[in-house]
Structure 1
Amino acid sequence: MNSVTKFQPIIVADVGGTNARFALVTDFDVASLQFTIAHAQTFVSAEFTSLESVLSAYIATLPFSQPTRAALAVAGPMKGQEVNLTNLGWRFTLNALKTEFNFQELKVINDFAAFAYAAPYLKTDQNLPIKHGTAETYSNIAVMGPGTGFGAAALVFNDHQQSVLSCEAGHITLAAVNEFERQLISLIAQEVKHVSVETVFSGSGLERLYRAVATVKQQPVEDYSAARISELALLGQCDICQQTLAQFCDWIGSVAGDLALTFGARGGVFIGGGILPRMQDVLLQSQFADRFMQKGIMSHYVADIPVTLVTQDNIPFIGAAASLIAR
């Protein structure tokens, strides 16, 4: 990017089933790789009938003329020019949206693609290293996150050019690395036909894991929600809940290592989502780093890969903007 050229503002968005968040990126500092974010607004998605209607509402709040660039991160599948926000029933095409709002540049990406694009622009002092290492410059970066679902993506470099690879890694089969985990998987398989990463590390997965841990340990199984399991564990009031969170963090270390190998992520692994940031102490005290590196003859490959827990705000905004300026 030519640093002399005046930066043209970018409308950025993080559109999900609950909220549609918008902001304006007004500048990008090449030296520090930092975006300036302003005019942030949050709208309740259910109060609007379409992406076009909520985008119009945001543009109406801006105290100046509409920018001609936009980059939107959306929680929904994309197929060519078509975007479908399943939980809202919103559908649109990129060409129609670009024409309606007279955008000169428009990028629409899914939320984990935005996370991948954002990775090189994150602030080290606002995020938590959970495994130390040395990232290789211009090497692939993997991102992942357990939350309502389990998402993953990679920022891939080729001759200093970059692109994002989206995937469905949440649906890969969860592997056991010891007898205890084999017993857990056997029990969880009685509830779900396919024991995938997502069935254990997202949504009601923590509840499944708790029930399996309690059963294997021959302890009473209480009707606890995921939030209650975490609360009791963090308060030190339930031994099985504590063991469940520890197992969660240990096991996801293996998954993160698998994804590092799959994507060749010598540039680092970044973990987001809504679950792990709430159990930082458990994660740091767990066997995450050891499990990440237990990859047999390829242990040397992952040994120096750094892993970071992302707690910084505005990742979708940063990633959306980065997707538009990335070359």
Structure 2
Amino acid sequence: MSSSGSQAAFAPILVADIGGTNARFALITDYCNSSKSFAIEHQHTFPSCDFKSFEDAVDAYLSQIDAISITRACLAVAGPVKGAEVMLTNLGWQFNTQQLKLRFGFENLQVINDFAAFAYAAPYLNERDNICVKQGIAQEHANIAVFGPGTGFGAACLVRSQGQQAVMSCEAGHISLAPVTELDRQLHNVLREDLQHVSVENVFAGPGIARLYRAMAKVHGLTVQDIDAAQIAALAENKECMIAERTLNHFCDWLGSVAGDIALSFGALGGVFIGGGILPRMQQRLLTSRFNERFIAKGVMSQYNNQIPVTLVCQEHIPFIGAAACIHTASPTGQGN
């Protein structure tokens, strides 16, 4: 792989994807300017529960590559990053970025949210490895929005202006879910019986599919068993339950409206990218749904959204790519600060 074009050798970047289940590490050893791709090597995955602290996990990884000198690192974590203090609630891990930097001798250390990493990764994704949900023409230097339904609902924006870029994280999962169609309104009314605030995350993340399933049954005057998303998906796939099929279809439809709102809010003329753990497993249903119709249907701004391409991201290593991009783009040489 050719280097970024600088005469200096590419300084390796330690990248990490830290979640509640696994702590994944890798080393970025080069960048190819022509293909806009990073070389990812020395990948190791450790069960997070094996370590008492994040520092112990880093020690375990570095012991695997002790012959390589590392001065740059970027860590993507599943949780909020506030200043120098990082808390991973699900693991009970807490660390200070300045202390971590000193302990391991990093000259450049960045810690970012996992959806911030997704946003940084967006310009480096390979079209052939992903799925076009909606055709459009992305403006080359315009903002890019990313979001994804999974355990939670995350979203972020790669803001690009006058040759500069930055990532803006947000709490889009907690905005109010807006009903658009009559069925939306009926479902929303049922959801409000149990929820004081019907947020996007209440329906499009975690137990949201099961919640929507129960609401759909009530709207149709039926009683259903209390089952989880995997069971609902199986029933829908085997066409064993009309309510399960309608739930997943409407999940995709309604998500189109949410995605369109996110695109408008971020001014995402550079494109919208969808990640998370749910939609890649139901991509055919998404592609045959009313997602695109509802993404575009924004009144006087319908033409604005009509031009925006939407991509379902299925390729691997997004946190690694985003963490590498965060450091690599920090300076014109790609060597970081």
User: Into which bin does the TM-score normalised by the smaller protein fall?
Assistant: over 0.9
Identify which of 30, 53, 58 aligns with 1:55: 58
Task: Quote the residue 2:85 is aligned against.
Answer: 82
Contact 2:5 2:33 in 1 (8 A): no
Task: Quote the residue 2:288 is aligned against.
Answer: 285
Identity over aligned residues, as a percent?
A: 57
- Comparing 71-80 with 290-299, greater Cα deviation is found at 71-80
Give the residue type in structure 2 aligned to 1:307: V
- Comparing 165-174 with 81-90, greater Cα deviation is found at 81-90
Identify which of 134, 137, 141 aligns with 1:134: 137
Identify which of 120, 133, 146 aligns with 2:149: 146
- Distance in 2 between residues matched to 1:243 and 1:92, nearest whole Å: 45
TM-score, scaled relative to structure 1: 0.98
SS in structure 2 opposite 1:57? helix
Task: Quote the residue 2:206 is aligned against.
Answer: 203
Cα shift readout 1:69-104 (whole Å, capped 9, x = no counterpart): 111100122111111111111111111000000001
Contact 1:59 1:66 in 2 (8 A): no
Identify which of 57, 71, 75 aligns with 1:72: 75
Task: Quote the residue 1:242 is aligned against.
Answer: 245
Shift of 1:215: 0.8
Identify which of 90, 93, 97 aligns with 1:94: 97
Task: Quote the residue 1:322 is aligned against.
Answer: 325
- Distance in 2 between residues matched to 1:183 and 1:123, nearest whole Å: 40
- Distance in 2 between residues matched to 1:130 and 1:192, nearest whole Å: 31
Shift of 1:65: 2.8
Shift of 1:63: 5.4
Instruction: Say whether 1:298 aligns with 2:301.
Output: yes
- Distance in 2 between residues matched to 1:65 and 1:117, nearest whole Å: 26
TM-score, scaled relative to structure 2: 0.95
Task: Quote the residue 1:177 is aligned against.
Answer: 180
Give the residue type in structure 1 aligned to 2:79: G
Instruction: Say whether 1:6 aligns with 2:15.
Output: no
Instruction: Say whether 1:17 aligns with 2:20.
Output: yes
Shift of 1:326: 1.5
Task: Quote the residue 1:168 is aligned against.
Answer: 171
- Distance in 2 between residues matched to 1:107 and 1:157, nearest whole Å: 20
Cα shift readout 1:97-116 (whole Å, capped 9, x = no counterpart): 00000001111101000000
SS in structure 1 opposite 2:230? helix
The answer for unaligned runs of 5 or more in structure 1 is: none
- Comparing 256-265 with 2-11, greater Cα deviation is found at 2-11
Instruction: Say whether 1:40 aligns with 2:43.
Output: yes
SS in structure 2 opposite 1:66? coil
Contact 2:254 2:291 in 1 (8 A): yes
Contact 1:19 1:44 in 2 (8 A): yes
Task: Quote the residue 1:212 is aligned against.
Answer: 215
The root-mean-square deviation of aligned C-alpha atoms, in Å, is 0.9
Give the residue type in structure 1 aligned to 2:218: T
Task: Quote the residue 2:335 is aligned against.
Answer: none
Give the residue type in structure 2 aligned to 1:140: N
Cα shift readout 1:257-308 (whole Å, capped 9, x = no counterpart): 0000000000000000000001011000100000000000000111010000
Shift of 1:2: 4.1
Cα shift readout 1:212-242 (whole Å, capped 9, x = no counterpart): 1111112222221111001111222211101
